[in-house]
Chain A
Amino acid sequence: MTAAWIALALAVIAAPLSWLRLSSRAQEWVLPIALAVALVAQWDLACRFTGSVIFPTPHQTWLASLELIESQRLWGDVVASLFRVTGGFFLAAGVGIPLGLVIGWSTRTFRAMNPIIQGLRPISPIAWIPISILWFGIGDGAGIFLIFLSSFFPITVGTTAAVRNISLVYQRSARNFGVRGLALFRCVVLPAALPQIITSLRIALGVAWLVIVAAEMVGMDSGLGYLINDARNAGSRYDLVVATMILIGLIGIVLDFLIRRLERFDEVRWGYVQR
């Protein structure tokens, strides 16, 4: 039944679109918006059909969003989550990028540290929650620590790989023109690795935004994750739950958009053009 509705909705949208000859730029906006509208319609229909009283309709979710925006606590929670994410993320970048550059460049350091990093990396940041609460208590400290952990590994491993992948021709050019020591790092190693480092930052920020919500649900008393938990516990307000989820998604899009701006600089654009 549901599949039939999706198919119908898609057909209804696709039919006029295939008639319209849209520029590719317009398509980038029109197609996803049309699909989103179809999905919301589908959601609404599903609620009506099943007659569910707990799961909110799009309209109820919209009202819940307005309620959240009007209430004073939403901004506090948004700021709390963003503060933990940015704090932990920048700390991780500050430690992970230099460390990754050194590990990637020095084979000896790589041999010493890579097994340990690979051993710690698979441990879910969620598994660190008890320890982080033990060390930092319930609050921003634990959150920042968890985000640090979840961003640190993608950034360090990504930077290490970026350096190890630097093309032999660039290394030889540098040697040929007598570039060594710090200048080698500044003029060759860092810029050659930068596109891939930015990609790893992007991945890390995505992971961080996933982890903070989970962490706040389990072990914190503020933030968007806590808001979701609180809405459910305080009278099964699933409309608030869904509204918060959508907000989390939207903020995630904005974060990704912001970090992708780094890819536009002339110094790194070369790393993304092939494709």
Chain B
Amino acid sequence: MSSNPDKVVFQGVSKSFNTKGEDLLVLEDVNLKIAEGEFVCLLGPSGCGKSTLLNIAGGFEAPTTGTVSVDGEPVVDPDPRRVFVFQEYGIFPWASVWDNIVLGIRHLSRERQHEIAQGVIDLVGLSGFERAYPMELSGGMKQRVEVARALAVSPDVIYMDEPFGALDSLTRLTMRSELIRIWEDRHPTILFVTHDVDEAIQLAERVVVFSARPGRIEEIIDVDLPHPRDLGAPEYGQVKNRLYERLGVSHRI
């Protein structure tokens, strides 16, 4: 738990979708406070409403009841201070890596754009690919562009919706440690959605476990392990067992 002031606050958030005349309750009474600079993972089974919750926080969808506020102000619209890294690739395939990254800083002077873009490109390790187009990049590199584009606007909050879900397991490990490096460097508040228990424990300071649909907060588990985290450490195994238990599955197969 961080002692910083609250950054993102969910109060009584519920969401139902009306499809074919039927109401489908997806999220039920979600209450959650996330402190400034905190790294929180939202963990839950597929279809429990994790993406929906993140979309509501990002201002892309309105909750059916309840509110989300950032810095005490209710979220009504997307805002460049809080950026989204999408579950499916959100970078523009028609623009070069460079043009994708300067998307959010178009209004700055050329020199500032250059400085910032070069900075984030180096940070995510894409130097030399500035002029490449997304289709010429591997999946992991596309995801780095996506992260770089988000970092370029120096957001206070980053919402990440299973950003590494489509990557192979080795690339995923690398991306995780780089994300931690970036987070330790700049300390944005990060809400990271995943359904991968290992990923949640490797990254988060707190893991919020959701029930199956309708998604409710089942439990919030602190992960008090310093980075870099040793996957083999016994504490790690304990947290892991607890999470699996909470998710209602046995991982001893």
Which of A's residues lie within 8 Å of B, judged by CB?
Answer: 167, 169-170, 172-173, 175-179, 183, 187-188, 191-192, 194, 266-271, 273
Q: What residues of chain A lie closer than 8 Å to B47, measured between beta carbons?
A: none
The reply to whether A191 and B95 form a contact with Cβ atoms under 8 Å apart is yes
The reply to whether A175 and B89 form a contact with Cβ atoms under 8 Å apart is no
Contact of A270 with B80 at beta-carbon distance under 8 Å, contacts A169-B88, A175-B60, A179-B103 already known: no
Contact of B94 among A175, A194, A273 (CB under 8 A): A194
Contact of A191 among B77, B80, B86, B94 (CB under 8 A): B94
Contact of A169 with B86 at beta-carbon distance under 8 Å, contacts A177-B80, A177-B153, A178-B104 already known: yes
Residue of B nearest to A188 (CB): B92
Contact of A170 among B60, B84, B92, B104 (CB under 8 A): B92
The reply to whether B86 and A269 form a contact with Cβ atoms under 8 Å apart is no
Chain B 127-170 residues near chain A, CB threshold 8 A: 133-135, 149, 153
Determine how close the nearest CB of chain A comes to the CB of B108; give it in whole angstroms: 12
In whole angstroms, what is the CA distance A195 to B90 when docked? Answer: 18
In whole angstroms, what is the CA distance A194 to B88 when docked? Answer: 21
The reply to whether A270 and B103 form a contact with Cβ atoms under 8 Å apart is no
In whole angstroms, what is the CA distance A120 to B103 when docked? Answer: 40
Contact of A273 among B89, B103, B135, B153 (CB under 8 A): B135
Determine how close the nearest CB of chain A comes to the CB of B78; give it in whole angstroms: 5
Q: What residues of chain A lie closer than 8 Å to B175, measured between beta carbons?
A: none
Q: How many residues of B are counted as interface, with CB atoms below 8 angstroms from the partner's CB atoms?
A: 26
The reply to whether B89 and A169 form a contact with Cβ atoms under 8 Å apart is yes
Residue of B nearest to A190 (CB): B94
1/0 per position for B89-109, CB-CB distance to A under 8 A? Answer: 111111110000001101000
In whole angstroms, what is the CA distance A169 to B55 when docked? Answer: 11
Decide yes or no whether B58 CB sits under 8 A from chain A: yes
In whole angstroms, what is the CA distance A267 to B90 when docked? Answer: 16
The reply to whether A191 and B92 form a contact with Cβ atoms under 8 Å apart is yes
In whole angstroms, what is the CA distance A170 to B79 when docked? Answer: 15
In whole angstroms, what is the CA distance A175 to B80 when docked? Answer: 8
Contact of A270 with B94 at beta-carbon distance under 8 Å, contacts A169-B89, A172-B84 already known: yes
The reply to whether A269 and B133 form a contact with Cβ atoms under 8 Å apart is yes
Q: What residues of chain A lie closer than 8 Å to B153, measured between beta carbons?
A: 177
Determine how close the nearest CB of chain B comes to the CB of A11; give it in whole angstroms: 42
1/0 per position for B67-83, CB-CB distance to A under 8 A? Answer: 00000000001111001
Q: What residues of chain A lie closer than 8 Å to B96, measured between beta carbons?
A: 266
Contact of A173 with B90 at beta-carbon distance under 8 Å, contacts A178-B104, A183-B106, A270-B134 already known: yes
Q: What residues of chain A lie closer than 8 Å to B80, measured between beta carbons?
A: 176-178
The reply to whether A176 and B58 form a contact with Cβ atoms under 8 Å apart is yes
Contact of A173 with B92 at beta-carbon distance under 8 Å, contacts A178-B80, A179-B103, A187-B103 already known: yes
Contact of A176 with B94 at beta-carbon distance under 8 Å, contacts A169-B89, A270-B133 already known: no
The reply to whether B134 and A169 form a contact with Cβ atoms under 8 Å apart is no
In whole angstroms, what is the CA distance A273 to B106 when docked? Answer: 29
Q: What residues of chain A lie closer than 8 Å to B90, measured between beta carbons?
A: 169-170, 172-173
For A173, A175, A179, which residue has the most chain B Cβ atoms within 10 angstroms?
A173
In whole angstroms, what is the CA distance A215 to B89 when docked? Answer: 48
Q: Which 9 A-B pairs have the closest CB atoms?
A: A270-B93, A177-B104, A191-B94, A173-B90, A176-B78, A169-B90, A178-B80, A175-B78, A267-B94
Residue of A nearest to B89 (CB): A169
Q: What residues of chain A lie closer than 8 Å to B134, measured between beta carbons?
A: 270
Determine how close the nearest CB of chain B comes to the CB of A262; give it in whole angstroms: 13
